[in-house]
Amino acid sequence: MRGMPDAIDADGLTVGQVSACLGVTVRALHHWDEIGLARPSLRTAAGYRLYTAGDLERLHRIVVYREIGLGLDRIRDVLDDSAADVPGALRAQRTQVAERIDRLRQLSAGLDRMIDAHERGLLLTVEQQAAIFGPQWNPDWPTEARQRYGDTTQWRQYAERSASRGPEEWQAVADAVADLDRALGDAMDAGVTPGSPEANRLVERHREVFASYFPLTRQMQVCLGRMYEADPGFAAHYDGIRAGLATWFRRIVDASARAHGIDPDTATWQ
């Protein structure tokens, strides 16, 4: 502000003065000059841009239309009379803006679902959960699972899928799990032995059903089998179907893994 040469009494303002006066950056003025949208009528001998009062008029109009979101091309059309229908252009712009708002609203809704899924694990009311997962279900389980596993990749994958699942989809998952549980119990009753084709088919079926939560490698499945046996909660669930089912399940998983070249005793999550 020191060397302000009071150039206003001269016949033009420099870029810096225009910038301060209109609230646009110097670079923007350069840009508009480059693309021919608003070039200064004058230059000093040294090449400084000088904007006259008429140039300022044009610049001001540009600023006005830029503020309502028009693209520079459209602004050029409006200023140069090449598109006579200004209200039409504005209306088209408004339509576009409305569409973008709609799109953003959908994004926002999707984000809400996704956040909810990551934090709660399940986008269902307690009543819906009870109706779908049956009387044994404990609504605190998702929260506990999140506290235990919330920072694993698998929880994230689970949450991503959960975000796009409604009651019907969860019902299908619950049905598939229940069917599998029954099939496991029946097979153990029928004396199916670990390593038999029948047992291996059930192990594969478990992998597929479980994949509705997150992708499960065979190694991970081995770890899961051991956890089912060791964890009191899981063991209670399986032994509640048939006494000894948790252990039997661990054994058929181990056998299947061995058949696929995996040593169940050194298998690792991942």
For DNA, give the closer residue by CB, 16 or 195.
Answer: 16
> Rule CB under 8 A: is residue 87 a binding residue for a second copy?
yes
DSSP string, the chain: --S---GGGTT-B-HHHHHHHHT--HHHHHHHHHTTSS--SEE-TT--EEB-HHHHHHHHHHHHHHHTT--HHHHHHHHTTSS--HHHHHHHHHHHHHHHHHHHHHHHHHHHHHHHHHHHS--S-HHHHHHHH-TT--TTHHHHHHHHHTTSHHHHHHHHHHHT--HHHHHHHHHHHHHHHHHHHHHHHTTPPTTSHHHHHHHHHHHHHHTTTS---HHHHHHHHHHHHHSHHHHHHHHHHSTTHHHHHHHHHHHHHHHTT--TTT----
Whole-angstrom distance, CA of residue 27 vs CA of residue 34 = 10
- Write out the two tokens for 54: 């008429």
- Write out the two tokens for 82: 């090449």
Residue 189 binds what, of DNA, a second copy, none (CB under 5 to 8 Å, by partner type)?
Answer: none
For a second copy, give the closer residue by CB, 11 or 160.
Answer: 160
> Rule CB under 7 A: is residue 46 a binding residue for DNA?
yes
> Rule CB under 8 A: is residue 23 a binding residue for a second copy?
no
Residues 132-151 contacting a second copy, CB under 8 A? 151
Residues 65-84 contacting DNA, CB under 7 A? 66, 71-73
Residue 9 binds what, of a second copy, DNA, none (CB under 5 to 8 Å, by partner type)?
Answer: none
> Rule CB under 8 A: is residue 37 a binding residue for a second copy?
no
> Rule CB under 8 A: is residue 110 a binding residue for a second copy?
yes
> Rule CB under 8 A: is residue 265 a binding residue for a second copy?
no
> Rule CB under 7 A: is residue 190 a binding residue for DNA?
no
Residue 200 binds what, of a second copy, DNA, none (CB under 5 to 8 Å, by partner type)?
Answer: none
For a second copy, give the closer residue by CB, 170 or 249.
Answer: 170
Whole-angstrom distance, CA of residue 6 vs CA of residue 12 = 10
Backbone torsions φ then ψ of 158, nearest 5 degrees: -60, -45
Residue 127 binds what, of a second copy, DNA, none (CB under 5 to 8 Å, by partner type)?
Answer: none
> Rule CB under 8 A: is residue 8 a binding residue for a second copy?
no
For DNA, give the closer residue by CB, 91 or 260.
Answer: 91
Binding site for DNA (CB under 7 A): 1-5, 14-17, 19, 25-28, 30-32, 44-49, 66, 71-73
Binding site for a second copy (CB under 8 A): 54, 57, 61, 64-65, 67-69, 78, 81, 84, 86-87, 90-91, 93-94, 97-98, 100-101, 104-105, 107-108, 110-112, 114-115, 118-119, 151, 153, 156-157, 159-160, 163-164, 215
